[in-house]
């Protein structure tokens, strides 16, 4: 660390001051020694101002406010992040695939080669304003989520100190209104399914009565259904994603124990007996004996909707997960318990994304309130008379 004077004209009559120091980059050479980088700043009017600037620089560096790898590009940061999530991070295969698509299609060409030192807020803001006019809110938010996570990871491993995307806010998504079955409609659909499409009946019941994801119940085996106290439960710890069987789930909260009713347990056992499913085999499989694929499930569900007289694309099979949440709310079950059952880390996600109050809810709630305040219906009639 030192300061020095240099001349700014050939006659050597005018001069200014500079400082030079060395800082660690967070990288190491092949012998394990820390790699340092020389930092030089010049243009100070006096020796004292050069020393003051040096002290401020070192203080900012100690507080992680100074970039020491400014030659890194956004593409370099992205590749570091991809290497992490593909080998060490707890990310689902589908998430990694989507991040690759977002980066290659929308981010790589305009931003990939820009050095971190030149990635100003104005450049970032201009990029996202342009992106806003060309893609859906869903794509916009996921591109933003990717770059924020990539740069946060680079900060975590001391490659950089500042995330230039922090001030960019995600767009608000309008809540999509999904079609739901009423309680009576659900009964009819289940009855027709058991009669006309028995191979799909247990899948329908698990989707609507447990809130499990398609990939989760696709990976179930009979030995995953075990006693829990006075009832039975499904131990969710595996999934089929992108046509691949995996021992990891979407998030850490996805690994859970899902409580099931006696009727659901009996339906599972009926399915096992009817289709002669061994304990270590998949609970569901296609007619060719292969493991269950999402497209097969969706096609069968669409066929069931057609049989029951519903229009094309009335519901997705994934919407049965929201159907479960609605039914649980109708039963007065607390949201925090529902969130645990469906594998959400935050109950706000359950409420915001899946809860769609059915027509019966206000009426049922009012009946409960009447009963609570005025007593049973018979007593109310006596009061009127």
Q: Are residues 147 and 281 in the same domain?
A: no
Among candidates 126, 131, 165, which has minimal Cα distance to 145?
Answer: 165
pLDDT digits (tens, 9 = 90+) for 335-373: 888 888 988 877 777 776 666 654 555 555 566 556 656
Listed range (10-14, 124-128, 134-138, 174-178) with the worst mean pLDDT: 174-178
Q: Are residues 133 and 242 in the same domain?
A: no
Q: What is the mean pLDDT of residues 9-14?
A: 83
More confident residue, 325 or 253: 325
Q: Are residues 202 and 349 in the same domain?
A: yes
Q: What is the mean pLDDT of residues 112-116?
A: 89
> What's the CATH code of the domain at 98?
1.10.150
Query: Where among 62, 97, 114 does a domain terminate?
Result: 62
The percent of residues above 70 in pLDDT, for the chain, comes to 82
Q: Are residues 191 and 252 in the same domain?
A: yes
Report the chain's mean pLDDT, rounded to a whole number: 83
Instruction: Kindly indicate the confidence band of residue 304, based on its pLDDT and cuts at 50, 70 and 90.
Output: very high
Q: Are residues 29 and 85 in the same domain?
A: no
Q: What is the mean pLDDT of residues 225-236?
A: 92
Residue 362 within a domain: no
Indicate whether 382 pLDDT > 50: no
Q: Are residues 316 and 211 in the same domain?
A: yes
Residue 169 within a domain: no
Number of domains in the chain: 3
Residue 334 within a domain: yes
Residue-level pLDDT at 383: 44
What's the CA dihedral at 95, 85, 236, 256 to 10 degrees? -110
Instruction: Kindly indicate the confidence band of residue 29, based on its pLDDT and cuts at 50, 70 and 90.
Output: low
**β-pairing, 244-246 with 34-44?**
unpaired
Instruction: Kindly indicate the confidence band of residue 57, based on its pLDDT and cuts at 50, 70 and 90.
Output: confident
Q: Are residues 36 and 144 in the same domain?
A: no
Query: Where among 156, 174, 206 does a domain terminate?
Result: 156
Residue 382 within a domain: no
Residue-level pLDDT at 202: 95
pLDDT digits (tens, 9 = 90+) for 143-165: 999 999 999 998 888 788 889 99
pLDDT digits (tens, 9 = 90+) for 253-269: 678 899 999 999 999 99
pLDDT digits (tens, 9 = 90+) for 117-129: 888 889 999 999 9
Q: What is the mean pLDDT of residues 54-75?
A: 72
More confident residue, 6 or 273: 273
- Parent domain of 44: 2-62
Number of Cβ within 10 Å of residue 146's Cβ equals: 23
CA–CA gap between residue 57 and residue 99 (Å, rounded): 36
Q: Are residues 243 and 335 in the same domain?
A: yes
Torsion sign (Cα): 324, 217, 179, 336: positive
Residue 361 within a domain: no
Listed range (91-100, 178-187, 217-226, 370-379) with the worst mean pLDDT: 370-379
CA–CA gap between residue 241 and residue 214 (Å, rounded): 9
Cβ proximity of 308 and 188 under 8 Å? yes
Q: Are residues 35 and 142 in the same domain?
A: no
Query: Where among 20, 37, 62 does a domain terminate?
Result: 62
What is the reported pTM?
A: 0.60
Residue 23 within a domain: yes
CA–CA gap between residue 284 and residue 204 (Å, rounded): 12
Q: What is the mean pLDDT of residues 197-219?
A: 92
Residue-level pLDDT at 322: 87
> What's the CATH code of the domain at 207?
1.10.443.10
Indicate whether 90 pLDDT > 90: no
Residue-level pLDDT at 109: 92
Residue 161 within a domain: no
Q: Are residues 212 and 339 in the same domain?
A: yes
Residue 53 within a domain: yes
Residue-level pLDDT at 75: 92
Indicate whether 231 pLDDT > 60: yes
Listed range (56-65, 122-131, 322-331) with the worst mean pLDDT: 56-65
More confident residue, 24 or 222: 222
Residue-level pLDDT at 86: 86
Q: Are residues 277 and 249 in the same domain?
A: yes
Q: Are residues 51 and 117 in the same domain?
A: no
């Amino acid at each position: 660390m030192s300061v020095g004077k240099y001349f700014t004209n050939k006659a050597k009559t005018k001069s200014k001051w500079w400082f030079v120091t060395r800082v660690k980059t967070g990288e190491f050479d092949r012998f394990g020694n820390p790699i340092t980088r020389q930092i030089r700043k010049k243009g100070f009017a006096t020796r004292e101002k050069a020393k003051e600037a040096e002290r401020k620089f070192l203080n900012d560096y100690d507080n992680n406010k100074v970039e020491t790898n400014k030659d890194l590009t956004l593409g370099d940061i992205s590749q570091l992040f991809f290497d992490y999530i593909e080998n060490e991070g707890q990310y689902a295969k589908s998430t990694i695939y989507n991040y690759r698509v977002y980066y290659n299609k929308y981010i790589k060409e305009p931003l990939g080669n820009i050095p971190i030192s030149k990635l100003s807020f104005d450049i970032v803001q201009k990029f996202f304003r342009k992106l806003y006019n060309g893609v859906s809110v869903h794509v916009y938010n996921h591109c933003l989520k990717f770059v924020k996570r990539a740069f946060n990871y680079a900060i975590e491993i001391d490659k950089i100190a500042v995330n230039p995307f922090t001030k960019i806010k995600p767009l608000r998504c309008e809540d999509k209104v999904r079609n739901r079955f009423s309680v009576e409609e659900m009964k009819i659909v289940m009855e027709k399914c058991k009669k006309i499409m028995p191979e799909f009946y247990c899948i329908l019941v698990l989707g609507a009565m447990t809130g499990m994801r398609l990939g989760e119940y696709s990976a179930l085996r009979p030995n995953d259904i075990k006693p829990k106290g006075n009832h039975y439960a499904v131990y969710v710890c595996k999934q089929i994603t992108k046509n691949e069987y995996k021992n990891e789930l979407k998030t850490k909260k996805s690994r859970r124990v899902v409580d099931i009713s006696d009727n659901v347990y009996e339906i599972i056992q009926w399915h096992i007996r009817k289709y002669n499913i061994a304990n270590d085999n998949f609970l569901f499989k296609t007619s060719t004996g292969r493991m269950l694929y999402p497209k097969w499930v969706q096609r069968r569900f669409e066929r069931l909707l057609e049989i029951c007289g519903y229009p094309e694309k009335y519901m997705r099979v994934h919407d049965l997960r929201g159907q479960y949440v609605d039914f649980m709310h109708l039963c007065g079950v607390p949201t925090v318990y529902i969130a645990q059952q469906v594998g959400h880390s935050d109950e706000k996600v359950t409420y915001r994304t899946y809860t769609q109050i059915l027509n019966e809810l206000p009426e049922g709630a009012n009946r409960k309130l009447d009963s609570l305040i005025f007593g049973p219906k018979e007593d109310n009639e006596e009061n009127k008379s």
